[in-house]
């Protein structure tokens, strides 16, 4: 489910495109741009690339930060609201106070129960944010392979935009008509099935996004350790 990140020091995926299309000149421009982005992140916490696609940055970074909190946090919120009190482990408490006393079995069980519940909430939040992400979403279009095979065949037969299907009446002062798979009888059903399932997946991702943000807002002031 996890994908290679583009929010580290360098975006290595972009380097491949820079070399493929522009060779050495593209690599030099890529390197200069990535250094500029790195400097911006150091100075202001984000770069131009992050600001150009905020939702992509959020879904790339925030779920991983929540995962880090979930894996390495020592406590959990005890209440909801503008101010969230917090329960910490006896080990953490002793490090702060120097108190060598130990918790009772009931206190230990209560703490473990609260921690398990908190981890369940964080796991759900992480899962939902991942499902809201087009690349990480576990639901995939079952017609994907058939659709793209048909699309490649369409291009081979009729051109990228169906240039070979054009008629004189397709031309006007604004340009010309563009043809798609749905304009050709042999591909229409394939295209419709693919698009219908894509819309269903989009609705699912929006639903996951809305539920994720409900949890995020509900526990916003508890996302600390």
**What is the reported pLDDT for 177?**
84
Helix-helix angle 105-132:90-97, to 10 degrees = 110
Residue 86's pLDDT is what? 67
- Do 121 and 196 lie in a common domain? yes
Nearest to residue 63, comparing CAs of 75, 52, 53, 71?
71
The pairing of beta strand 75-77 with beta strand 86-88: antiparallel
Asked which of 52, 67, 86 is the last residue of a domain, the reply is 52
Domain match, 40 and 89 both: no
CB 197 within 8 A of CB 143: yes
Q: Give residue 47's domain range.
A: 1-52
Q: Element (H or E) spanning 210, and its range?
A: helix 185-218
* Claim to verify: residue 141 and residue 200 sit in the same structural domain: yes
In whole angstroms, give the CA distance from residue 28 to residue 217. 43
Q: What is the pLDDT of residues 22-43, one digit of tens each?
A: 788 878 887 888 888 888 888 9
- Asked which of 30, 52, 74 is the last residue of a domain, the reply is 52
122 and 193 both lie in a single domain: yes
Same-domain status, 89 and 174: yes
Number of domains in the chain: 2
Last residue of a domain, one of 14, 33, 52: 52
Residues 191 and 215 in one domain: yes
CA distance 223 to 225: 7
Q: Are residues 7 and 104 in the same domain?
A: no
pLDDT (tens digit, 9 = 90+) per residue, 154-180? 999 999 888 889 888 777 757 778 899
Residue 46's CB is within 10 A of a number of other CB atoms, namely 15
List beta partners, residue 171: 176
Same domain, 122 and 26: no
pTM of the entire predicted model: 0.76
């Amino acid at each position: 489910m996890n994908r290679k990140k583009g929010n580290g020091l360098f975006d290595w995926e972009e380097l491949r495109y820079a070399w493929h299309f522009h060779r050495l000149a593209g690599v030099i421009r890529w390197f200069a741009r990535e250094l500029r982005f790195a400097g911006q992140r150091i100075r202001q916490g984000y770069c131009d690339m992050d600001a150009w696609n905020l939702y992509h940055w959020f879904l790339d970074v925030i779920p991983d930060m929540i995962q880090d909190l979930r894996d390495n946090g020592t406590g959990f919120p005890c209440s909801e609201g503008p101010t969230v009190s917090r329960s910490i482990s006896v080990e953490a408490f002793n490090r702060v106070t120097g108190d060598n006393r130990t918790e009772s079995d009931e206190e230990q069980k209560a703490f473990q129960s609260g921690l398990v519940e908190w981890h369940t909430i964080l796991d759900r939040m992480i899962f939902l944010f991942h499902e809201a992400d087009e690349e990480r979403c576990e639901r995939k279009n079952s017609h994907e392979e058939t659709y793209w095979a048909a699309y490649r065949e369409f291009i081979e037969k009729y051109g990228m935009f169906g240039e070979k299907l054009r008629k004189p009446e397709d031309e006007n002062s604004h340009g010309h008509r563009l043809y798609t798979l749905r304009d050709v009888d042999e591909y229409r059903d394939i295209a419709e099935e693919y698009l219908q399932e894509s819309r269903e997946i989009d609705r699912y991702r929006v639903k996951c996004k809305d539920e994720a943000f409900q949890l995020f807002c509900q526990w916003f002031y508890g996302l600390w350790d």
